[in-house]
Copies of this chain bind each other. A is one copy, B any other.
């Protein structure tokens, strides 16, 4: 496939991997940009930022056509508590911060114009998550909890700091969710993963960020190929030729900003 459209890559853990499920924020983004951008899913269930580093140059190789937007949405696993059995997702806080910096700078090093949007982990509903793990993984009490919201908060803060230091936009999901009183029931399904309502919040926040960047607005990006209303059935070639001429100009603009 030749690159016909801008590419938006969603890079993250399970909350990204699940984003094309019913009501998911990734699918909603693909629907909004259905004629304008390709939304590429790179979500890896259970991954933390240290493992993300191991696949970074394969997903974003140097010589390839760089994506136009990348969401980087890690931290829910990094924030897991360290456990003695070695089967853990935990990444120490300073390491998480350094890893995020490395992810952002790697993506930016391929293309300065790539817009990187950091997303903090959502807040954890401690009790619901314990209940989910007890019911689904038959965990013994000593293995519970494996995550607590007070720790996730620190990772969300670190993510915001990285965004500030690297001068990239950030969606502070940890705070946004908690602005709604019943966020636990409204936005989460198991204490950690997103409900349809939670997905809608991520989508809305991401659209807000993209709307701030003029050329990425869904109502500004050029469509690929003319809308059917512009096509004269008796002489359809005219609309396509005209689209091609304008589209080339639009592409130059996108590359230049």
Contact = CB atoms under 8 A, between A and B. Distances in A.
Give chain A's interface secondary structure class: loop
28 contacts: A1-B7, A1-B64, A2-B58, A4-B58, A20-B27, A22-B22, A22-B28, A22-B31, A27-B27, A27-B31, A30-B41, A34-B43, A35-B43, A44-B225, A44-B228, A46-B227, A46-B228, A46-B229, A46-B231, A50-B236, A51-B231, A51-B240, A54-B236, A54-B240, A55-B240, A86-B233, A87-B233, A89-B233
A17 B90 CA distance: 41
Nearest to A7: B1
A223 B243 CA distance: 38
A68 to B, nearest CB: 11
Contacts of A92: none
B227 A45 contact: yes
Interface string A51-95: 100110011010011010000000000000000001111100000
A17 B234 CA distance: 24
A240 B228 CA distance: 47
A130 interface: no
Q: On chain A, which size bracket covers the interface? A: 35 or more
A212 interface: no
Interface string A33-45: 0110010110111
A9 interface: yes
Contacts of A34: 17-18, 20, 41, 43
Contacts of A86: 232-234
Contacts of A55: 225, 240
Interface in A132-154: none
Contacts of A54: 236-237, 240
A21 B34 CA distance: 9
A24 interface: yes
Contacts of A227: 45-46
Contact of A44 (B35, B67, B229): B35
B228 A45 contact: yes
A34 B10 CA distance: 11
Contact of A4 (B23, B59, B90, B228): B59
A47 interface: yes
A68 B243 CA distance: 28
Interface string A206-227: 0000000000000000000101
